[in-house]
Amino acid sequence: NCQQKNTLVTVNLDRKSSFRSKRRLIYYVLHYILFSFSVPVLVTRITHTRNNEALIHMVKATVGGGFLAMPEAFHNAGVVTGIVGTVVIGLSVLNMMSFIVRCSQTLRSGKYAAMIIADRNGRDSTGANGEADNDDDNNFEKFAQKYRNSKDLVLDPMDYPDTVAAVFKYGARGRFASWSSFARNFTSASLVTTYYGVNIIYVCIVAGTLKQLIDQYTSGAAEDAWYGLLHGLSIRWYPTLAGLLIIPVGMVRLMKYLVPFSIAANAFMLAGIGAVFYFIFIGDDQQIPLAPEDQAKLVVWPPTRWSLFAGSALCSLEGVGMLLHIENAMSRPLELAGPPFTLHQSMVVIMILNSVLGLCGYLKYGDLCEGSISLNLPRNNRLSEVIKTMIALGILLTYGLQLTVTADLAWQGLRKKIFNVPEGEPGATDDGDDEEWSAKMTAYYYAMRFALILGTIMVATAVPDIGPLVSLVGSVGFSVLGLIVPVAMETVWYYYPKENGGDEDHDDGDGDHDQRGSGRSNGSRAVTAVSATVECAVAAAVATTAEKRTPADRRRSFRRIVRYTKNVVILILALSALVGGAFYNVRDIVNQALRDSSDVKPAF
């Protein structure tokens, strides 16, 4: 009977196999493309993400305003400097992001996990009655011994500010524990500021696209027609016009309502980016001639503009904001920064895409490169107008998701400072038992969100130029988040050369005891432990000067020299982008504002 039933089922499947296979193929292809290209906020809601999906998340996270500005970035550097600079900045970003992932995973496993758990539970060496709590000590020792050399991720996922704070608190034997709160607040403020700037870039892209399309369709309007007044209208009016579309999208808070927006935005952006490459290589016969004096600049532009390129490249290459969200959602998170090195593969793809778009777009449009390459597409072409609209819609529908990241971080600080509601207490969430309190908090949240939206519109009205704004956000925000903060983290993490350096991470001895004691007493005995450790280290250093150094010591010293040299180079690069990019971009923004307002001679 079983054999007959199986045969019958097989026959029934074979009759409809052709139709079902095609339907399933179309379904899986569309599902993979649309849902895999999700933004960082949605990644936090996805579990068991595979490696190839994590790679797509990383690539999609960089395809936005910064990616579309790469041709304009190459215009500030030239072909040679642009390609070399993209590779150098990409490798620097990859090195720092790889360290952040490995550091977060180390903090969630082994001896650091035991220290953090003990610190969260508020345990001490004495109980409530002042006597020694031997049971807690025994449990702690058993836990620490069990997970000491284990790579299992014991703790819950950590976000970027929490990882930075944990490094300062538990790294370097607690030497910089007093800086942990400042490090978390500074990183959170940098995240809010940077990604709020990304929202402003989105408003500028939508406003610029609206201006091009409206000017195109109102150029032949009659003099008495009302829509003829829109032709030639200043770009500074269009952020307000775009706000009519942005405000409804930006006010959507619940994630389940934002998912359809994300799917549509992914489809629009995917089709729009593909069409941009089509117009660059095939569909646009327009070739921008370069003056003889500008042909040399095509290869290498003056160094004074390199910081502008660095800012735009950082805005396009950086993905530190969603890095740990993607790692936390992976089914095998150790494979993000470890074999098969999913993060490294994604950064290679990102560097290739940015280099190709920047190089080919600059060679195609030369000095006329706009802040978004979509604005360089032909203006008397129906297909290019559709592509511009699709990209603008993709950016518009992503606005709400991007604002949610900024709004949630800002709301945490606002709720704690103004309403005195700490995390984990009643009222910490908006949906508490008290309906009046919950409604009040919800009203305050939406008021704050509306104020944030109005802020992006107002800033975009004052600074409508996409290119300088992208470079400014990258040079100030992403240089701090992606380079300066990770360099400080790595310096603290490897402050003592025999710790966290590969096989030294499993050494036995006083170092682990000092760390566990510091975490266990929440810093109460940190001074004594650190003082004893420093004295022992000094005595050991003096005693070993006359002894022959072992090969392990030489390898450790070599790695430390290489690490410090690398960090100094990255820090110089980041500070150059920060200071130079901020100065030149602010100068360009002020000069453009003066040119738009009157014929006053530009400042600086």
Whether the pLDDT of residue 571 is over 80: the answer is yes
CATH classification number, 49-123+141-420+442-496+561-599, choose in 1.10.10.60, 3.10.580.10, 1.20.1740.10, 1.10.10.10: 1.20.1740.10
Q: For residue 594, with 0-12 CB atoms within 10 Å meaning exposed, 13-18 middle and 19 or more buried, which class applies? A: middle
Rounded CA gap, 141 and 516, in Å?
A: 10
Summarize pLDDT for 420-440 with one digit per residue, the tens. Answer: 665 544 344 454 445 656 788
Summarize pLDDT for 395-422 with one digit per residue, the tens. Answer: 998 898 888 888 888 888 788 777 766 5
pLDDT for 532 equals 44
Q: Are 325 and 70 in contact (CB under 8 A)?
A: no
Domain boundaries, the chain: 1-36, 49-123+141-420+442-496+561-599
For 470, residues 6+ apart whose C-beta sits below 8 A from its C-beta are 65, 66, 69, 72, 201, 311, 312, 315, 371
Closest alpha carbon to 567 in 473, 484, 468: 484
Measure the CA angle with vertex 558, ends 166 and 516; round to 5°.
30
pLDDT for 17 equals 45
Considering Cα of 424, then 322, then 257, then 331, what sign does the dihedral take? negative
pLDDT for 140 equals 59
pLDDT for 145 equals 63
Summary mean pLDDT of the chain:
77
pLDDT for 356 equals 94
pLDDT for 525 equals 40
Residue 134, both tokens: 């031997």
pLDDT for 409 equals 84
Residue 8, both tokens: 């019958």
Backbone angles phi, psi at 428, to 5 degrees: -65, -25
Q: What Cα–Cα distance (Å) separates residue 49 from each residue in 325, 328, 330?
A: 11, 9, 4
Rounded CA gap, 148 and 44, in Å?
A: 29
Summarize pLDDT for 199-254 with one digit per residue, the tens. Answer: 999 999 999 999 998 888 887 766 666 667 777 788 889 999 999 999 999 998 87
Whether the pLDDT of residue 196 is over 80: the answer is yes
Summarize pLDDT for 278-302 with one digit per residue, the tens. Answer: 988 887 666 555 566 556 666 767 7
The CB density around residue 217, as the number of other CB atoms within 10 Å, is 13
Summarize pLDDT for 57-75 with one digit per residue, the tens. Answer: 888 877 788 899 999 999 8
Closest alpha carbon to 336 in 273, 344, 207, 174: 344
Rounded CA gap, 290 and 367, in Å?
A: 8
Whether the pLDDT of residue 34 is over 50: the answer is no
